[in-house]
Amino acid sequence: MALAAVLAGALWALRAAPAATPPEVDPWAGPAPVRTVPARRETLVLKVGAIGTVTPLNVVTVRPRVDGPLARVLFEEGDVVAAGQPLAEVDPAVYRVRVAQAEGQHAQNAALLANAQADLAMYERLAAQDAVARQVLDKQKALVAQLVGTQKADQAALDSARLQLAWTRIAAPIAGRTGLRRVDAGNLVAATDTQGLVTITQTRPIAVTFSLPEATVAAVRAAHARGRPLAVEAWDRTETRRLAGGHLTTFDNQIDAATGTLKMKARFDNGDDMLFPNQYVKVRLALGERTGTVTIPADAVQHGERGPHAYVVAQGKAVLRPLKLGAGQDDRVEVIEGLADGDAVVLEGLDRLKDGREVVVVKPAPGA
């Protein structure tokens, strides 16, 4: 019994004893795992970004220039048409009759003029022999002048009739893509119609309009003044796919006081029709290049009381380097002072670092 009591007491003591507290782990003890990238010397292309809208260079509403029934429609909606290509035809019968009438009137007056000119020649010969009165000669000259004027009016009327007949054939004034047809064959059309038959939008080439903030205007003007076309790229909404490349053509003559921006226009050949009118795109305008400059990823730059800095791995330790930064582009930034080409700059594991701490460089997994 005594032995059982001793065992029960020992068991109670073990259960009542507090659990052992594990020793605290110091996160600053031991080398910190980091990943590095080398600072590299390269050509840095300086770009500014903006939001742009694709704008056609020309948009034309095709309207008839004469009245009459629409006899034929010679295009399909959405067709790419060339300048001068026939699109439709107004019934030309009435205008052919008008041309015939004008030709008849012209021929009739031409015959009268020829007869009057022959009489004038005869009167001039007789007047030279004093065989006819001077008054008769002057009257004949006036008649010839009158018929010459009538002949010119007849010629103008004939030209007008022929022009109206030609206008019954409606052709594309520009090259571009047709929109939806607004009038079908068989309907009466008039020159006063404001709706038109169809709209043609020029898509090759095409323009993109965008606005840049006032702070970048000086740099854009300086780059444009060098005389070289400034390259412009159009990207999709997510900036993951490049749609087209073009060049800056012009910019507005004043800054918009309401927004503090300057409107600009770029031109793209758009041979593959990747840009569509009124499409929303992201624009990247190249202002120039910095050759032979040291760059590092922007994520490697830290900011603190000392200003911008980065950690460099040297002899197994993290060394803090104050930096003087220059221009940035995409995910990289120019380092004017503080780093040299090939320095191992810490990119990952920065939250565990301090100046002089030992580090171990971890290589990225294959395919990372």
pLDDT in tens, 89-148: 999 999 999 999 999 999 999 999 999 999 999 988 888 888 888 898 899 999 999 999
Rounded distance between C-alpha atoms, residue 216 and residue 261, angstroms: 9
With H, G, I as helix, E, B as strand and everything else as coil, classify residue 135: helix
Contact 275, 234 (CB under 8 A): yes
Q: What is the pLDDT of residue 85?
A: 96
Which CATH fold would you assign to the domain 48-58+202-290? Elongation Factor Tu (Ef-tu); domain 3 (2.40.30)
Distances from the Cα of 147 to the Cα of 121, 144, 154, 209, 346, angstroms? 15, 5, 10, 59, 99
Neighbour-count burial of 143, counting CB atoms closer than 10 A to its CB (0-12 exposed, 13-18 middle, 19+ buried): middle
User: In which residue ranges of the chain is CATH 2.40.50.100 found?
Assistant: 66-90+169-201
Question: Which bin fits 84, alpha (ψ -120 to 50), beta or left (φ > 0)?
Answer: left
- From the options 1.10.287, 1.10.3470, 2.60.40, 2.20.25, give the CATH code of 92-167: 1.10.287
The residue type at 229: P
* 3-class secondary structure, 7: helix
Measured distance CA(301)–CA(294) in Å, rounded: 14
pTM given for the model: 0.70
Architecture in CATH of 66-90+169-201: Beta Barrel (2.40)
pLDDT band at 72 (very low <50, low <70, confident <90, very high): very high
Domain with CATH 1.10.287 in the chain: 92-167
How high is the pLDDT of residue 98?
96
Name the more confident of 11 and 189.
Answer: 189
> What is the SS3 assignment for 12?
helix
pLDDT at residue 174 in the model: 96
Is domain 32-44+293-361 classified as CATH 2.40.420.20?
yes
Q: What is the pLDDT of residue 185?
A: 94
